[in-house]
């Protein structure tokens, strides 16, 4: 798991301090030995670009390592706005976790287009219908609504202890 460092697409938005985001991911995955946390983006200078992170991971783990980049449908549908997005298709398999509210026909067309044009390896991953988003969680906290079952108990405690999103 790699929390985003300084995302260029959120230049004019207030984002939660990287220390807190890193801490919450650490708490969320703590009980699963199959998961690990990387601060590779948090510790870099300047904006975080996915293509640069993937390059750094390949350099760290060697170029024969097969990487899978997991992203949501919403982000994938905007991938053409990302820095050097075409390079991502050469360096990693893209896994698109589907979400409710997105046009499956449009998603399939985009996947097919990238597979044909860039020889991209894209996996469409249907996910359970759990409509959980970070913006919804922040909004719920702001409006004093429960976030129970939307985040782990440890993350919920951390958010309230550090008075995040209030």
Residue pLDDT, tens place only, 108-134: 999 999 999 999 999 999 887 667 788
Buried b (16+ CB within 10 A) or exposed e, 107-127: beebbeebeeeeebebeeeee
Q: What is the pTM of this model?
A: 0.78
C-alpha distances in Å from residue 73, one per residue of 54, 101, 102, 143, 150: 19, 10, 7, 27, 19
Query: Model confidence over 30-79: pLDDT tens digits?
Result: 999 999 999 999 999 899 999 999 999 999 988 788 999 999 998 999 99
* pLDDT range class, residue 100, cuts 50, 70, 90: confident
């Amino acid at each position: 798991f790699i929390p985003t460092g300084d995302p260029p697409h959120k230049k004019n938005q207030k984002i939660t301090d990287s220390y807190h985001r890193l801490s919450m991911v650490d708490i969320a995955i703590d009980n699963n030995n199959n998961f690990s946390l990387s601060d590779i983006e948090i510790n870099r200078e300047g904006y975080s670009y996915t293509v640069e992170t993937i390059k750094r991971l390949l350099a760290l783990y060697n170029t024969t390592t097969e990487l899978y980049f997991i992203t949501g449908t919403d982000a994938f549908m905007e991938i053409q706005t990302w820095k050097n997005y075409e390079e991502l298709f050469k360096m990693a398999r893209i896994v698109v976790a589907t979400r409710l509210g997105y046009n499956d026909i449009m998603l399939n067309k985009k996947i097919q287009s990238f597979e044909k044009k860039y020889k991209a390896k894209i996996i469409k991953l249907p996910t359970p219908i759990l409509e959980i988003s970070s913006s919804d969680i922040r909004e719920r906290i702001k409006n004093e609504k429960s976030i129970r079952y939307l985040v782990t108990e440890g993350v919920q405690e951390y958010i309230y202890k550090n008075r995040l999103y209030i």
